[in-house]
Amino acid sequence: MRKYFTLFFFLFVFKSWAQKEEPLISLSFTNSDVISVLEKIEEKTDYRFYFVDSWLKDQDNVSGEYKDSTITKVLEKLFENTVITFYFTEDKRIILAPNTIIYDELPQGFFGAFEKDTLIVETRKKTKIVSPIFTSINQSSKKDKIETITIGKAVRDNSKQEFKFYGYLKNVQTGKPLVNAIVIVNGNNVGAESNDQGYFETELAAGASIVEINAFGMEPFKKRVVIYNDGRYDVSLREKIEFLDEVVLSTEANSNVEEVVTKTKIDVKESKNIPLALGERDVLKVATTLPGITTAGEGAAGYNVRGGKSDQNLILLDDAVIYYPQHFFGIFSALNPFALGDVNIYKNNIPAQYGGRLSSVFDLTTKDGGLDGFKGEASIGPVTGNVLIEAPIVKDKAGVMLGGRGAYANWVLRSLDEESLNDSEASFYDVIAKYNHQISKKTKIEASAYLSRDDFSITSDSLYIYNNRAFSLRLNHRFNEKNKAKLALSNSQYKFNIEFDGQSNDDFELGYDINETELKLQLDYFYNSKLKFDYGIASKLYTVNPGNIDPIGEESNIQALSLEKERGLESAAFLTAKIDLTKKLTLDAGIRYSIYNFLGEGTQNIYQEGVPRSEETLLETLSFDKNEVIETYGGPEYRIAGRYLLGTDFSLKASYNKTFQFIHTLSNNTTISPIDTWKLSDLNIEPQSSQQYALGAYKNFEGGTYELSVEGFYKESKNIVDFKTGAEILLNENIETEVLQGNGKSYGVEFLLKKKKGKLYGWLGYTYSRSFIQLDSDFREERVNGGEFFPSNFDKPHDFSLVANYRFTKRFSLATNFVYQTGRPVTFPVGSFTFNGSDFTVFSDRNKFRIPDFYRLDLGFNIEGNHKKNKVGHSFWTISIYNVLGRNNPFSVFFVTEEGEVKALQTSIFSVPVPSITYNFKF
Amino acid sequence: MELYTRFRGIMIKVRFVLVFCILSLISSCVDPFEIETENFENILVINATITNELKTQEVLLTRTFKFEDDGPQSETGATVRIIDDANFEYTFEESDSGVYRSTQEFAATSGRTYRMSIQTADGRSYISDVVTLPQETSIDNVYPQRVSNDDGVEGLGIFVDTFDPTGNSQYYRYEFEETYRIVAPLWYQFDLVVTDRTEDFFVFGVEDRSEDGTVCFKTEVSNNINIANTTFLEEDRITGLQVNFMPANDIRIADRYSILVRQYVQSRDANGFYEILSSFSESESLFSQIQPGFITGNIVSETNPDEKVLGFFDVSSVSEQRIFVNRNDFLADLPVFELDCELVVPEQGLDDLITFHQRVEGFINSSAVSYFPNAPIQIDQPINVFSFIPRVCGDCRVIGKVSVPDFWVD
């Protein structure tokens, strides 16, 4: 019978409603409490009250006697000297609200801006300036016909043209005078305001004038005043209340302008609308349509962020590192889109709590499962099937989520009537599980586990397998209003395996794996509204098996070999202070001090100084004991960002960022592959480091409908790892003899225009950027391109993307995606030569040429199932055509010698339009 | 052991691409295209392998060439010398254009070190690293075996076993020379000739062919890079390394076949050179590609240290073995190489006699066909039986030579 109405701490605006139809009631009570009175009214009428008990519990001694009275009258009397206001809805509900508390939170001028559709409220409690937007305040006060009053006694022969109009303003509920109310005459602000006592005075022209009085938080007063002489009119105003249909709190409307550390946020939900190859949703592919994040090509794995190599991104899934988040060489994402909650990418300024990679942090978190009861999502596409289920464990407190995705390519391959393909195999799957438990209001724990696996075989005699595994356990605790902490324990593993089972006696199995375990404690200290600290410590232990080979079968004469394990400890302490220097200028100043120890046991080669490293210049091999520190690297990493507001929707930001990276992928391929290995920094291979300077301007238009940003950056890196031509990497015990370390340099300007609302929404991004590498040395064999800077493999100066969605109705929408990029650099032969009877190509300087420019248009049509309320599930169809224009975009070029002659070949991944249909189901 | 080259990056064969192409309904993912040379660099190419065989050693000097050109320009007029650690100089003379032969026969010997020096006609000088003769290891066994290749095609594979008990050889390179016997199935003893011509007609006769074109021999030299190493093996032993493969219907294995396999034990550096060369030229990966670059050999320019020089000077120990294979011992049940020997009969039709005869003369002069009468003819009479067969069916000399090679054993 009693229903509770949840209150937002922000505001309640109710609409007053005519009480004409109110039934008349009779009731009497003495020394009663208010709640009982309300219950009595509920008994006698079909009106229902909505309130919170605590508001009324002080009023436990009220008396009254009413006969044939309206409810309004009763309530007015009942709440006469309280802060409670009431409101009748059209469906016979009466909503109570403690108004004064609410008003405490409202800023000056709040109601002054009330006529607009959009209100911007600043709340003080939150350290971040949030700007809630109330998008739908469409039911304004009921407009009564303007009432006419007469003032003053008409006097014959009055020659005066103006008369004094004065009176007192008071709040009808509290009886208090209303101060600073504005008197408006015929729509003009005549400069009259009520004073401290609520007294107002103005002049009115003889005859009729429309007088309006706007008092803060009160119903407006508007009357036709016919004045005959000076006269007094006292006005009692009701507090203004308005009922909101729907309150949409969009706290981040201006976040892109206001946040100090710019992050690229990927809307996981929206990603389903973007057409992708073979209908596979890929949240990170969406990221590549945003400026500054690219891939080397359509089928290339890994991301290049602001001219950085693809091993320079820290990809975190619930705080655990994912080394290779892609299936099938980068064509598909290995992260289940149904499981993801938030995806934030830091490419500008990396918060000090993150470290270990130079270019960016991809911070992915899974959503909490099972809090809204049992539900699930499933999809069937041409390549994969995907199911995710959420189930509650403890109502509203604990839940689990379990998702699985698998490709049925294998089945397709086998069913094809093509003999040569029967031996081929390509399959993958990924599984994700999460348990979240809100133990108390202050404490929450989350456990996540992730596993992905790819199997593929190219020839009948070899099988490649690669795996990601990640696990994390996180504890969030709020000590008090000012302090909170997060403790995270994570473990990740990446491994691959190659099995070779051929005709000769050399069958083998080759394996690689990297394993890391991290413990991180992160604390937040809210000093005051202008100063906030984020600090903590983290330590990570790496264990790498750089490669082992074992014979398969009795006959194999492969000698088992296992390269020495590598171990490293990467530790850091970090502190970030977020300081509001002025209202407009905010600084996010962070420092991270990283220390890396390369640990024994193991051996390290010492080479002669001043000559290229090779087996000939090897001086000695040192041995180290277990846990002995072989080498230590590290230093401070400054992460400083500043923001200056030039209005509520316009800001300038600048940042400086220094980063270290202690592990490197070893790859002599032009793009990364699943069998690239990660190597720890050691005595001979130094850590990479980078410094980035960035400056940007951010502007929102039309209340956040449009967001425009322009960012420029300049980045320099050191000790980027590269290789001598044709280096042997797998199972190389002296890999340092093949490694070259050089400098990187990149710069660019990124434009992004987003339209976030309306039927047509999407974004348009354009980046002009360059990325260079320099490999210089005193020795010719260690120099590439004469020691000069040369374009990196992913240097694509022009990068344009347009993502546009048009929603016809709630059920039908059309999505388009257009990409244009400069062709990536390739190493092209400068001629050919004859050797041992065959022709070969001569390669000279690296990356002097480019493949043709890349462009592609994709279209998608989304059909949502009907929106009936009571159906079991909700379905969603996506019909898409990838590469509508059928553009044959070359991905790479290569030159083979066949029958002694050179043949030039180019590959492309999707050279014709690729249609697909995906079916999604939610329950 | 081609598997070791598999370590080098990920070798995703083009065939795999097709798998994906079918999956995604894509017609062609790998397309050939015409290359045009841009920024051509004219570089000296040195191919010099000195062996432990007592013979006239050979050094080849060429230059890089444009894709549009037919072949390399020879580097002529150079002075080539090989100097050993006792300062003994072996001089070379240019015998053919770009081919330099030692003026005396010599064999590289173990315990000696060698280096090569070259002065080109334009006055530049080049010098190689110092190299030594590696372990001498002889081929254990060369043998044929019926196998299927990666594409599932059945045929004959030629395999090599070798073993070095000292474990010092480790790096091997194989070349071969293959010779096969061809039998022309429709050998005809006579050629058709024009014996007389008038304004209205020609007179045809026959003429004895100068030599018997029934049985010929064709020799080809390997042109692929075939290297192997045993560094990952328990012992320095190679078992069952395939050096050559012929599909069952290949002409080479249509009758009798012989192969001479030459095994070069080479230095680690030379192995590295060949390995890079081969990995760049057989890059079949679709999704990731080996970063190509200039392949540095062991020869540098003394005149300008920054000048690029291609090629390698290697001293190698050689062992060779020859085997003979009869097709029917291995592939008797499989389809054999078959010539298309359909008869071509020119007919007069509505033509004048002279026009027809001129056409017949055209056939006589064509290298594509040879005379093969489809009716009895009178040898010393004018001939009026005109019919031909593809030349290869009637005369194996279009493929090989009739002279039996010295080594040939039937």
Q: What CATH number does residue A183 fall under?
A: 2.60.40.1120
Q: Is the pLDDT of residue A482 over 80?
A: yes
Same domain, B15 and B59: yes
Pick left, alpha or beta for residue A276 (phi over 0 → left; psi -120 to 50 → alpha; otherwise beta): beta
B350 shares its domain with B293: no
Is A846 found in the same domain as A773? yes
Interface test with B, best of A724, A725, A916 (most B CBs within 10 A): A725
Tell me the pairing of strands A48-50 and A93-98: parallel
| Per-residue tokens: B172 | 């091997």
pLDDT digits (tens, 9 = 90+) for B248-303: 999 999 999 999 999 999 998 899 899 888 888 875 555 557 788 888 889 999 99
Taking contacts as CB-CB distances below 8 angstroms, the residues of chain B near A899 are: 223
Do residues B84 and B47 share a domain? yes
What pLDDT is stored for residue A324 in this prediction? 92
Check CB contact under 8 Å for A831 and B272. no
> Which chain B residues contact residue A424 at CB under 8 A?
15-16, 19
- Do A205 and A307 belong to one domain? no
Whether A105 is covered by a domain: the verdict is no
* Cβ of residue A837 closer than 8 Å to a chain B Cβ: yes
A821 and A876 in one domain? yes
Q: Which of A179-183, A503-507, A848-852, B357-361 has the lowest mean pLDDT?
A: A503-507
Distance from CA of A312 to the nearest CA of B (A): 18
pLDDT at B219: 94
Q: Which of B222, B276, B288 sits opposite A671 (nearest CB)?
A: B288
One domain, residues B199 and B289: no
Q: Which of A55, A73, A98 is the last residue of a domain?
A: A98
Give yes or no for B36 touching A (CB within 8 A): no
On the CB side of B9, CA atoms within 13 Å amount to 29
Confirm or reject contact between B149 and chain A (CB < 8 A).
no
Is there a domain that residue A109 lies in? no
Put simply, whether A301 touches B (Cβ < 8 Å) is: yes
Mark whether B55 and B106 lie in a shared domain.
Answer: yes
Is some CB atom of chain A closer than 8 A to the CB atom of B70?
A: no
Residues B85 and B34 in one domain: yes
Can you state the angle between helices A71-78 and A34-44, rounded to 10 degrees?
Answer: 180
Of A98, A119, A149, which marks where a domain is finished?
A98
**pTM score, whole prediction:** 0.75
Q: Which of B329, B355, B382 is the last residue of a domain?
A: B329
Reduced to 3 states, what is the DSSP secondary structure of residue A805?
strand
Asked whether residue A639 is domain-assigned, the answer is yes
CB contact under 8 A, B8 and A841: no
Same-domain pairing of A679 and A747? yes
Residue in chain B lying closest to A825 (CA): B291
pLDDT digits (tens, 9 = 90+) for A2-11: 444 433 333 3
Residue A598: how many CB atoms within 10 A of its CB? 26
User: Distance, in angstroms, between B355 CA and closest chain A CA?
Assistant: 43
Per-residue pLDDT, B1: 29
A908 contacts chain B (CB < 8 A) = yes
Identify the CATH number of the domain in which residue A59 sits: 3.55.50.30
Please check whether residue B127 lies inside any domain of the structure: yes
Range with lowest mean pLDDT among A128-132, A471-475, A682-686: A128-132
The average pLDDT across A837-862 equals: 90
Share of chain A above pLDDT 90, in %: 42
Asked if the structure places residue B382 within a domain, the reply is: yes
**Of B276, B295, B329, which one is at a domain's C-terminal end?**
B329
Q: A535-586, pLDDT tens digit by residue?
A: 999 999 999 999 999 998 888 888 888 999 999 999 999 999 999 999 899 9
**Co-location of A224 and A269 in the same domain:** no
Confidence of residue A898 (pLDDT cuts 50, 70, 90): confident
Residue B174 counted as domain residue = no
Tell me which residue range forms the domain holding B89: 2-136+267-329
Lowest mean pLDDT of A186-200, A470-484, B204-218, B371-385, name the range.
Answer: A186-200
Distances (CA, A) of B373 to B278, B353, B386: 50, 19, 6
* pLDDT at site A261: 87
Higher pLDDT, A687 or B368: A687
Domain that holds residue A185: 131-237
Nearest-Cα distance to chain B for A610, in Å, is 18
- Domain count within chain A: 3
Q: Are residues A228 and A275 in the same domain?
A: no
- Chain B residues within 8 A of A829 when measuring between CB atoms: 35, 37, 67, 292
Kindly list the residues from chain A whose CB atom is less than 8 angstroms away from the CB atom of residue B226: none
Rounded CA gap, B344 and A153, in Å?
A: 132
Q: Are B20 and B88 in the same domain? A: yes
**Highest mean pLDDT pick, A218-227, A673-682, A706-715, B385-394:** A706-715
The residue in chain A having the minimum alpha-carbon distance to the alpha carbon of residue B242 is A504
Quick one: three-class SS letters along A283-334? HHHHHCCCCCEECCCCCCECCEECCCCHHHEEEEECCEECCCCEEHHHCEEC
Q: What is the largest CA-CA distance in chain B?
A: 83
**What is residue A913's predicted lDDT score, i.e. its pLDDT?**
83
Residue A118 in any domain: the answer is: no
B132 and B18 co-located in one domain = yes
B100 located within any domain? yes
pLDDT in tens, B77-133: 999 999 999 999 999 999 999 999 999 999 999 999 999 999 999 999 999 999 999
Of A301, A827, A909, the CB nearest to B291: A827
Closest-CA residue to B294 (of A181, A467, A830)? A830
Residues A158-173, mean pLDDT to the nearest whole number: 79
The reply to whether residue B280 touches residue A456, judged by beta carbons under 8 angstroms, is no
Supply the pLDDT for residue A62. 81
B129 with B49, same domain: the answer is yes
What single-letter DSSP state applies at residue A161? Answer: S
Give contacts of A500 with chain B, Cβ < 8 Å: 3, 6
B7 falls in which pLDDT band (50, 70, 90)? very low
**The last residue of a domain, from among A81, A98, A115:** A98
Q: Of B184-188, B255-259, B312-316, which gets the smallest average pLDDT?
A: B184-188
Same domain, B287 and B359: no
Kindly state whether residues A632 and A697 are assigned to the same domain.
yes
Q: Does any domain span residue B173?
A: no
Note whether A228 and A314 are same-domain residues.
no
Does residue A496 sit in the same domain as residue A592?
yes
* Selection from B123, B134, B61 nearest residue B319 by Cα: B134
Handedness of CA B240, B242, B243, B245 (dihedral sign): positive
CATH number for position A752: 2.40.170.20
Among the partner residues B19, B39, B242, nearest to A830 by beta-carbon distance: B39
Q: Considering its fold, how many domains does chain B have in total?
A: 2
Q: How far apart are CA A447 and CA A640, in angstroms?
A: 32
CATH number for B308: 2.60.40.10
Q: How confident is the model at residue A414 (pLDDT cuts 50, 70, 90)?
A: low
Residues B272, A615: Cα–Cα separation, whole Å: 14
Q: Do the beta carbons of residue A770 and residue A749 sit within 8 Å? A: no
**Band (B63; pLDDT cuts 50, 70, 90):** very high
Mean pLDDT check: name the lowest of A134-138, A272-276, A710-714, B71-75.
A134-138
On whether residue A125 sits in a domain, the answer given is: no
Same structural domain for residues A308 and A220? no
What's the whole-number average pLDDT of chain A?
Answer: 83
**Whole-number pLDDT of residue A1:** 41
Residue of B nearest to A905 (CA): B32
CB neighbours of residue A411 within 10 Å: 10
Chain B nearest C-alpha distance from A599 (Å): 27
Residue in B162, B274, B291 to test binding to A, most A beta-carbons within 10 Å: B291
Residue B92 lies in a domain: yes
User: Domain check: are B70 and B207 in the same one?
Assistant: no
Q: Are residues B303 and B373 in the same domain?
A: no
The predicted structure's pLDDT at residue A139:
40
Residue A787 lies in a domain: yes
